Structures are given as structure tokens and as C-alpha cells.
A and B are shown apart, each in its own frame.
Chain A
Amino acid sequence: MNRAAIIWRVASFAVAAGFVAIWQLIANLKLVSPVFLPGPDRAWAALMRGFSSGDLWSKLAGTLEHMAYGWLAASIAGIAIGAIIGSSSRMRTYVAPSLEFLRPLPVSAIIPVAIAMLGLTQAMALFVIAFGAIWPIMLATIHGFAAVEPRLYEVARSLQMSRLAVIFKIALPSASPDILAGMRLSLTVALILSVVCEILAGLDGLGHWVLLSARAFRSADLFAGVILLGLTGYVTSVAMSLAEHRLLAWQAAQR
């Protein structure tokens, strides 16, 4: 890491620390009633209490589980469907209009449909999360497959490579930067929808914890849950970036 990068890193920590300090100040001065706004000290204590009693762990595990299953289902389906649509220009012209109709549809609009069909169940949550998270992945995959260098397909033809080999050795690696970027976007969508589903269906998870804490006016617990959700989003996204960095090492060489 060079000097400039270190200075930026230090500066960003300073800004974060500044926000916490202001938050503490507002809480101490009681500018907002402590019933609604606990200070960082109380939120931290609630977080530690939740972990030591084990409650928060199980809630966190629940949310991570919903998020992971939905995201993985979205990834598999999104890449598969995106690959089929993206690798044929005829499919693109036929299917693209329907996609344009479905894509801007807010996921919240299909939640009632999902509840009506599947009830307030894990299956409903999985469906809603996967449905919301599939779009970035699928659209990125379509784009990635459509943008494969045609010359490479000619190389594949002159090598008489099988269809399967062309997909796995040419098209997928070529589309991988797009696909991984789509998967990173979907991660956030999956987290948001996990929380929404937990709140709506009362499924075990941080969403449920936050809802119950709010109803009981336990603002410290509420904030502990929110902080944990923020951390979850941050950590998963950093992990995804690291994975991207490793998988796309060849791109670093290109720049």
C-alpha cells in the first residue's frame, strides 16, 4: 500500500469515528429522547449482551441463511437463464421486451403474490429473495455473454471444440467480470429482502429482532440489530470483492 492509500484509509476511519462521536454527543445532550435514540455506548452494550446470551447469534445465522440461499438460487438461475438468452441474438430480441417489462417491477409488488401462493413460509422468503436478486445477475450475464469477442468463437470453431467446452472455456470466463459484478449487486438486494421477509413473515432473523425491539421500545436492542445488519452488508460485500479480485487476477494484468 502506498502513502496516499494509507492517508485515505486513516481519513475514512477518522470520519467514521467523527460520526460516532457526534452520535454520542447528541445522545448525551438528549436532543432526541433516549427512548428512540440510545447512545453508541448503550447500543454497543446491547450488542454485547445479545451475543453473550446467544440470541443475536441465532438471529444473525437466520438472516445469513435466508440471504445465502436466496442469493445462491438467484445466482444459479440467473447465470443459467442469462447464458441462454445472452448467447443467442434471436433469443435476445424475443425475450428482451418481456424482461424490460418485468425488471422495473418493484419486488415489493410480488410479495403479496408470493404470500398468497406460498403462505408466510421459508419457501415464500426464498422465492422473494431469489426473485429480487436474480435481476442484476441475469442482466449482467446476458450482457457478458452477448459481449464475448466473436473472434474467440471462431478460434473455438477451428479447434472443433464441443458446445460445452465453448461455454465453460470461452463464454463463461469471458463473461465472468460482468457476472461477478452482478452477483455483488445482488448481495445487497438479497440482504434487504431477507430483512423484509423476516419482518413480514415473522421468520427467525435480524429483521424479526429489529421489529420486536421496536415494538417493545427497546431502542438499544433495535440499534444493535441495525448495526449488525450494516456490518453484515459490509462484510459480505468486502468478501465478494476479495473473491472477485482473486478470480479476476488476469484483469489486473490487463490494466
Chain B
Amino acid sequence: MASAAKRLEAVYGTATPQIAFDGVTLVLGGKTIIENLSLGVQPGEFLCIVGASGCGKTTALRLAAGLYQPTSGKVNFDGQPMREPRREIAIVFQDYGKALLPWRTAAGNVSLALEAGGMPSAERPARIEELLRTVGLPGHAGKYPSEMSGGMQQRLQIARCLAQEPKTLLMDEPFGALDAMTRQGLQDEVLSLVAASGATVIFVTHDLDEAIYLGDRVIGLLPHPGRIGIELSVNLPRPRDQLSTREHPEFLRLRRQLFDFIKATEQ
């Protein structure tokens, strides 16, 4: 475990990572899902996690959220052990349809986070309007989730997460169920939202291109049990651009490297 801390120090100097996994092992139902995972995420970093289906990406994210407690090892947030979920850490779930309250309108769903944060009701409408505008849903405040498209529902979930004013944003394949065009639009929106708020992001995806396009760093997990198999720094200029970034030689090199890694794990 000390070695992990040393490695982090070597990479980042002595800065405290915002989220630190220190030799984390998680056993669920007698099965080791994650084994000896050490990982530090710096404040403001955009970390992407990729890996074959069932390798433990979601589980790692749930550990970072405090929804699971490690069987052994530690998960720290800002240097403090994480005992339970906290408002500074927001999660965007893949299944937006289940994560929204169907009986509340778009405004009501955003309001839920503001209520939980103790914002006085007089201040909420203005803030709700602002957040819905930020995610590109102005004028949809009165709609129920069921009256919105998948892309709009996912935007709404992101708005609710932003309402938490999170220091860390955890996203579990947030665009997995959306079509390619909607997906690219949302990728750029997330990048600009994150740039504006300075939040730290852990982003899980199946899509290797998406991981490289978004991330400062990409981690590939190996399955059974889940552990780190590859770690790539993405030195692509920001702001990223859907056309030029994806044609960048560095992008193509990383893509090849990641692709070979995933192919090897699937055999």
C-alpha cells in the first residue's frame, strides 16, 4: 500500500489526490470483484476507465461514490476516509430512466438536489432555470421525464448532478444508450461544463474513442478480478474538437494501443 502512495508521489509530486484508492479489494457474494486497486485522481483531472464487459468498471465507480465499502484497503476523498456517499460527489447513472423521479417534472427533479442541499425555496426557481439552460433544456422545465427523449433525460440527470455543485462527477457509461449524434453533442457539452466548473471526473465507457477524446488519462481494467492493466496519459490539446482531435496522430496512436489491450483481454 505504501508503494501505491510512492507511485502517486512520483507521478504527481506531493499533492493530495481528490480520490485515492489504496490497495482496494472488494469481495461480493464470495467473489473477488476488485483486487488490490490503487489509483489517485487529482483535483480537476478527467479520468476515463475502459475495459471489457463485467471487468468491474461500475463496481470501481460505486466504490468511488461510497456506495460500496472496500473489503480491505481504503478509499479516501480529500484525504479523508470515505464512509458513505456525500453530496460533493455526484453520480450520473447510465439508466437515466430509472434515476429520475417520474412523478416530478424536469424542474422538480433538479429541485430534489437543491432541496437536499438546503437551498431556500425562494432561491430555487432561478437556479433551476439556470441549470436547465446550462444543459440545453431551457423551456422544458414543466415536462415530465417520460415526455422527454433519452438524450434530454440524460441532460436532465446531468443538471441534477450539477445542482449538487459536486467536486467530483462520476459518470457510468452516461451516453451508452444514446445515438452517435446525440452522443458527440453531449461529449462536448460535458467537456465545457467540466472546464467551467473545474470538477474532477471519473468517466466509465465502453467506447475507446470516447475515452481518449474526453480524458486526461485513460485506465484499462483487466477482468476477474478487476485490476489495472494499462494506463495512458492523453496529451492532446484542449479544447478538443470532434474532427481535428480524432484525426490527431497522438489520438490514433493511443487508440491503437488501447484497442490492442482490449483485444488481448478478450481472448
Interface residues of A (CB under 8 A from B): 149, 151-152, 154-155, 157-161, 165, 169-170, 173-174, 176, 250-251, 253-254
Query: B67 near A: Cβ within 8 Å?
Result: yes
Q: What are 24 inter-chain pairs, A to B, with CB distance below 8 A? A: A151-B99, A152-B98, A152-B101, A154-B93, A154-B99, A157-B84, A158-B66, A158-B86, A158-B87, A158-B90, A159-B112, A160-B84, A160-B85, A160-B87, A160-B116, A165-B115, A165-B116, A169-B101, A169-B112, A169-B115, A250-B102, A250-B103, A251-B103, A253-B144
Q: A158-B90, A169-B101 are in contact. List 17 more A-B contacts (CB 8 A).
A: A151-B93, A152-B98, A152-B99, A154-B85, A158-B65, A158-B67, A158-B86, A159-B87, A159-B117, A160-B86, A160-B87, A161-B116, A169-B115, A174-B103, A176-B103, A253-B147, A254-B146
A residues near B86, Cβ cutoff 8 Å: 158, 160
Query: B204 near A: Cβ within 8 Å?
Result: no
Cα separation A217 to B101 with both chains bound (whole Å): 59
Nearest CB in chain A to that of B164: its residue: A159
Mark contacts of B141-182 with chain A using CB atoms, 8 A cut-off: 1 yes-contact digit, 0 otherwise.
000101100000000000000001000000000000000000
Cα separation A154 to B92 with both chains bound (whole Å): 11
Cα separation A169 to B112 with both chains bound (whole Å): 8
Instruction: Decide if the interface of chain A is mainly helix, strand, loop or mixed.
Output: helix
Query: B91 near A: Cβ within 8 Å?
Result: yes
Chain B nearest CB, measured from A249 CB (Å): 9
B residues near A254, Cβ cutoff 8 Å: 102, 144, 146
In this complex, the interface size class of chain B, counting residues with CB under 8 Å from chain A, is 20 to 34
Known: A169-B115, A173-B103, A174-B103. A157 touches B85 (CB 8 A): yes
Contact partner of B98 among A151, A161, A173, A176, CB < 8 A? A151
B residues near A251, Cβ cutoff 8 Å: 102-103
B residues near A169, Cβ cutoff 8 Å: 101, 112, 115
Cα separation A155 to B160 with both chains bound (whole Å): 10
Cα separation A251 to B145 with both chains bound (whole Å): 11
Cα separation A173 to B101 with both chains bound (whole Å): 9
In the A-B complex, the 6 residue pairs with the closest CB atoms: A159-B116, A254-B146, A151-B98, A253-B144, A158-B85, A250-B103
Nearest CB in chain A to that of B67: its residue: A154
Cα separation A152 to B96 with both chains bound (whole Å): 10
- Pairwise interchain contact A157-B67, C-beta atoms closer than 8 A: yes
- Pairwise interchain contact B146-A158, C-beta atoms closer than 8 A: no
Chain B nearest CB, measured from A145 CB (Å): 15
Cα separation A157 to B164 with both chains bound (whole Å): 13
Query: B95 near A: Cβ within 8 Å?
Result: yes
A residues near B115, Cβ cutoff 8 Å: 165, 169
B residues near A149, Cβ cutoff 8 Å: 98
Chain B nearest CB, measured from A170 CB (Å): 7
Cα separation A241 to B237 with both chains bound (whole Å): 60
- Pairwise interchain contact A170-B98, C-beta atoms closer than 8 A: no
Cα separation A159 to B113 with both chains bound (whole Å): 6
Nearest CB in chain A to that of B170: its residue: A158
A residues near B101, Cβ cutoff 8 Å: 152, 169-170, 173-174
Cα separation A169 to B103 with both chains bound (whole Å): 10
A residues near B93, Cβ cutoff 8 Å: 151, 154-155
Nearest CB in chain B to that of A151: its residue: B98
A residues near B90, Cβ cutoff 8 Å: 158
- Pairwise interchain contact A253-B146, C-beta atoms closer than 8 A: yes
Cα separation A253 to B93 with both chains bound (whole Å): 23
B residues near A151, Cβ cutoff 8 Å: 93, 95, 98-99
